[in-house]
Chains A and B, each alone.
Chain A
């Protein structure tokens, strides 16, 4: 079973920041938070991951709460091409993990 809880859907206006929440209250100390997205009819695409510090890359920012029980993925300036299903996944890293267990994700619709 997925270890995360996400809202099933969200809307965002084009050009605005999209903030996607994720709850992972049972996360253990050696588990990372991963985010993937799946644009319609394509394979899942890696976005970002983190352990406890906030992370940023060219696609997004990941904010993890101090107790690590929840996180937020931020797309700073959403475009129509960011419309996709976003999956938040917790898993071990390196040889400690292997499986990605996908939940239902959040369907983000970016509107003009």
Chain B
């Protein structure tokens, strides 16, 4: 199994630009999670989906962030417009029925 796949692995953009992060969960998993990691706040959950439906988005910072899961094998996290404080490593994780979560390698986002 290829594990959770995230793209891009690194993204550098300028303030105000739209950023889209992508995630392909492990085949057969029906729950998907987006996390953000910064030095100041550590690892924090942004949103999670079960069977492609958003279950808890209470961790999404503000309206500039949005996440979609159009099918069982793909999810996006979009930031529009991006700001320097959004710079972080964004992780996607997947699981079967919210049991053990397996994480992807992360996307390191730098907003200048």
Contact = CB atoms under 8 A, between A and B. Distances in A.
B20 interface: no
Interface in B39-78: 42-45, 48, 50, 55-56
A56 B42 CA distance: 28
Contacts of A93: 99
Contacts of A94: 97-99
Interface stretch (B11-19, B79-87, B102-110): B102-110
Contacts of B56: 98-99
B5 to A, nearest CB: 11
Contacts of A43: 4, 91, 93, 103-106
A94 B102 CA distance: 15
A49 interface: yes
Contact of B42 (A42, A99, A103): A103
How big is chain A's contact interface, by range?
20 to 34
Interface of B is mostly: strand
Given A98-B50, A99-B56, A44 B99 contact: no
Contact of A46 (B48, B101, B105): B101
A49 B99 CA distance: 10
Chain B contact-residue range equals: 20 to 34
A102 B105 CA distance: 17
Nearest to B3: A43
Given A44-B43, A44-B91, A100 B101 contact: yes
Nearest to B91: A43
B103 A102 contact: no
A42 B100 CA distance: 18
Nearest to A87: B43
A9 interface: no
Contacts of A104: 42
Given A42-B106, A45-B103, 12 more contacts: A34-B100, A43-B4, A43-B93, A43-B104, A44-B43, A98-B33, A98-B56, A99-B48, A99-B56, A100-B93, A102-B43, A102-B44
Which 9 residue pairs across A and B have the least CB separation, nearest first? A43-B103, A102-B43, A98-B98, A44-B103, A43-B91, A43-B106, A99-B45, A43-B105, A46-B100
